[in-house]
Structure 1
Amino acid sequence: MDQLRRRLGVPDAVVIGLGSMLGAGVFVVFAPAAATAGGVGLLLALALAGFIAFCNATSSARLAARYPESGGTYVYGRERLNPFAGFLAGWGFVVGKTASCAAMALTIGAYLWPGQARLVAVAAVVAVTAVNLRGIAKTAAATTALVVVVLVVLGLVAVSGLVAGDVQLDRLGAGGGSAQGVLTAAGLLFFAFAGYARIATLGEEVRDPARTIPRAVPLALGVVLAIYLVIAVVAVGVLGADRLASSAAPLVDVVTAAGLPGLAWVVRAGATVAVTGVLLSLLAGVGRTLLAMARRRDVPGTLAAVHPVHQVPHRAELAVAAVVVVVTALGDVRGAIGFSSCTVLVYYAITNASALTLGRDPGRKLPVRALAVAGLVGCLLLAVSLPPASVLAGFGVLGLGALWYAVRHRR
């Protein structure tokens, strides 16, 4: 069986996690989340999504250290629960994240060239796939550069808002949403935290996974949560909940409201870089999950090939890229976010269920079983609290996958 090469240490894994998470929440999700939850509700939703993500991260890290191979929860569900649970997790991840890749590509097009957004989106998918096909070391190096640029831009937005933006903290309490609105917003915002899974799905390429993965996952998640909270406070404090909810480019509006419209192009460029970083890591992660499914013949076995030179699952990545290009021609950014969140929340529910079958971890002070239970319940609660269209589409596609599994095994 073809194997991938272990090249990534803790810094590389953290950077890939940051590249996967930074961008989607700040540049895409904050506006619809504010529309459903209001000002203070947005912060509550962020905290809730961050806590559930932490529960999931703890379970993911424990499982990834035990099963350091590509595939993430697809592997964990098969090994700890049953083959169907693993298949459902892998199917949900591949389908949901493929839609997410299309949404990210369309976002790049909207920022760079709104009049030709779909053409730019297709070009972005082709370019990012070319980078990934050169090897995971190239992916990590490219993601590092992207993360540095994004952190600089987000720091510029935060400083501009705090220094010149007339931040009014009383705006945080305005436009408060209902408990249902907070849950819906948390489900949408979870889309922004799901990038830490990329560390686990790259488990076969991480050096000393028992040490690297448990350190990299919570570190990447903690950094991103802190950044999101700061940016959320600045955005709501400067714009107010209503203006934030209706904004197509919230961070551009922050610097404009701060009296610095000349920085708008910098923020737009930063948004493009951020979303490109997300797309880069997303395509790599989906390709690795498809590789794991192909190895076990849950999808065509020809996708299990690993390139002899670059050590990447080139057929799986090309297949994912082809589907993303097709979806990009028909896609809708906000609809894709809700759909992706639904299927990925189910994926993490299976992660936590798998973690509950593990024994106690010697030397761990965290109540890992309680966190796994909280993560399982939280994921299911957020999944059914999403907009009805997203819930129907997400569970409908999961149902189709389950039907395919049943028919294939009966044959």
Structure 2
Amino acid sequence: MTPQALHRHIGLFALVIYGVGDILGAGIYALIGKAAGEMGNGIWMAFLASMVAAGLTGLSYASLGSRYPRAGGASFFTHHAFKSNFLAYVIGLAALSSGVTSMAAGSRAFAGYFTTLVSAVPVDLVVVTFCLVLAGVVIRGIRESMWMNMLCTGIELGGLLLVISVGAKFIGSVDYTSTVTVANPAGDLSFSLILSGAVLTFYSFVGFEDIINVSEEVKNPESTMPKGILLAVLIASTIYVTISLVAVSVIPAAELATSSAPLVDVVKRAAPWFPPIAFAFIAMFAVANTALLNFIMGSRLIYGMANQGLMPKVLGKVSRRRTPYVSSLAVLGFMLVLALTGNIASLARATSVLLLICFMMVNLALVVLKYRKGEPKGRFEIPAVVPVLGTVVCALMLSYAKIEEIKVAGAILVVIVILYFVIRPASISSNPANAD
């Protein structure tokens, strides 16, 4: 192990917790209401469709992760498959942009919850403190980050399990095939309706791809990575589908769609004895967990891109505790700028579009590598039809994205392209032999 290598602290259990915590995130606490507005009682179908898209791409990530356990994720895979500095740079920064946008949105959401409990504290002060604490944990070390992740995931998961436990007795009380909404009064169920709903609910599944970016800190990554990704997606999918069934069973879909805190309202209705303020704390931990894991992802992605030559070499430096501290400070700066401007709503809407583009490239990369002569196999191999289907499903979902989301994502990609031609990255190393 070279002096610049990261430290391998993460086992399978910690990796699954990392993945589950990242996928569950904060989105489900608000997204369930928006999904009910589009799908009525049939929101479980949208979650199942999203699960298929996430599952297919997750299999591709798992296979690539078993071949090349490298920080850099989608950027590394793209370059190794297509030998294109340009594509690797664009895909890497697209993934980074989605993560940092999510962190910035999360910091303001955390501040919003916090100031409802302690109104005397200025929002911007909470935002800055929140960002600095996250940076301190990440720079301190991956072990400390994993402990914080386990704590937050436990509380976050506990909140969702509470919803399931208090609402389970209501299951079976409604027609789960009804898709009647204000926009769809006849309740017409179509393939296009399910796909449109899936684009919305897909945001709840993003996060499994972040697992790849801690590959260099995972024990026995060739076998641990695929198991971690697949178990995380499976566990999160089961929770999502169950939550969607419980939510529309407790509260009518039309009422759920107008709620600003749908899961809080579900608990109020199903368990009026439970103190609502406790759910505010749970939501704060969910937001903090999402931001923490995106921070880890962003710092490792920049570190990996620096080692490839796509970023300045200084961003690839690690501390004596084997953490990429310079790239972590870069993420902190980027996060603070976005969070303090507060101008992040339109950027957040483009996250799913950017990630769907990244996922298409990852699936295509696996297809190319599977048919390249002399390319080594991994411990987890899948048929070529899986990444092909993953590409098709991602493309279908992109075709149902709203025009505003596509415009914002397109604007971000234009900025990334301009940066590429301004910076002119050096020749990249994508030699898998450098993984350790």
Max Rg structure: 2
Structure 2 residue corresponding to 1:273, chosen from 285, 288, 295? 285
The residue aligned with 2:364 is 353
Letter in 2 for 1:328: A
Please state how far the C-alpha of 1:362 moved relative to its aligned partner.
Answer: 8.3
Q: CA RMSD in A?
A: 2.4
Structure 1 residues 306 and 152, CA gap change in structure 2 (3 angstroms): same
Please state how far the C-alpha of 1:354 moved relative to its aligned partner.
Answer: 0.7
Quick check: 2:63–2:378 contact (8 Å CA) kept in 1?
Answer: no
Q: What is the alpha-carbon distance in structure 1 between the residues aligned to residue 370 and residue 255 of structure 2?
A: 49
Letter in 1 for 2:77: Y
**Any idea what the Cα deviations from partners look like across 1:279-330, whole Å, max 9, x if unmatched?**
111100011111112223323322111112x211111111111211121123
Query: How many residues are paired up?
Result: 407
Please state how far the C-alpha of 1:234 moved relative to its aligned partner.
Answer: 0.9
Q: What is the alpha-carbon distance in structure 2 between the residues aligned to residue 108 and residue 286 of structure 1?
A: 19
SS at match of 1:357: helix
The residue aligned with 2:312 is 300
Letter in 2 for 1:291: Y
Q: What is the alpha-carbon distance in structure 1 between the residues aligned to residue 125 and residue 253 of structure 2?
A: 33
SS at match of 1:169: coil
Please state how far the C-alpha of 1:364 moved relative to its aligned partner.
Answer: 6.4
Please state how far the C-alpha of 1:274 moved relative to its aligned partner.
Answer: 1.4
The residue aligned with 1:72 is 73
**Any idea what the Cα deviations from partners look like across 1:156-198, whole Å, max 9, x if unmatched?**
11122224x6873226613247654433332232222121112
The residue aligned with 2:106 is 104
Please state how far the C-alpha of 1:154 moved relative to its aligned partner.
Answer: 1.4
Q: What is the alpha-carbon distance in structure 1 between the residues aligned to residue 245 and residue 347 of structure 2?
A: 26
SS at match of 1:21: helix
The residue aligned with 1:28 is 30
The residue aligned with 2:325 is 314
Structure 1 residue corresponding to 2:88, chosen from 74, 86, 89? 86
Quick check: 1:294–1:301 contact (8 Å CA) kept in 2?
Answer: yes
> Does 2:369 match 1:369?
no
Please state how far the C-alpha of 1:121 moved relative to its aligned partner.
Answer: 3.0
Quick check: 1:172–1:237 contact (8 Å CA) kept in 2?
Answer: no
Quick check: 2:338–2:344 contact (8 Å CA) kept in 1?
Answer: no
Q: What is the alpha-carbon distance in structure 1 between the residues aligned to residue 6 and residue 278 of structure 2?
A: 38
The residue aligned with 1:149 is 155
Quick check: 1:191–1:337 contact (8 Å CA) kept in 2?
Answer: no
Quick check: 1:196–1:221 contact (8 Å CA) kept in 2?
Answer: yes
The residue aligned with 1:122 is 128
5 Å-filtered alignment, 1:120-199, equals: 120-163=126-169, 168-170=173-175, 173=178, 174-175=180-181, 176=187, 179-199=191-211
Name whichever structure is richer in helix by fraction: 1
Q: Which runs of 5+ in 1 are unaligned?
A: none
Quick check: 1:34–1:185 contact (8 Å CA) kept in 2?
Answer: no
TM-score by length of 2: 0.87
Quick check: 1:167–1:238 contact (8 Å CA) kept in 2?
Answer: no
Percent of paired sites with the same residue: 26
The residue aligned with 1:15 is 17
Q: What is the alpha-carbon distance in structure 2 between the residues aligned to residue 48 and residue 194 of structure 1?
A: 14
Quick check: 1:32–1:185 contact (8 Å CA) kept in 2?
Answer: no
SS at match of 1:168: coil
5 Å-filtered alignment, 1:196-275, equals: 196-260=208-272, 262-275=274-287
TM-score by length of 1: 0.92
The residue aligned with 2:434 is none
Q: What is the alpha-carbon distance in structure 2 between the residues aligned to residue 362 and residue 135 of structure 1?
A: 29
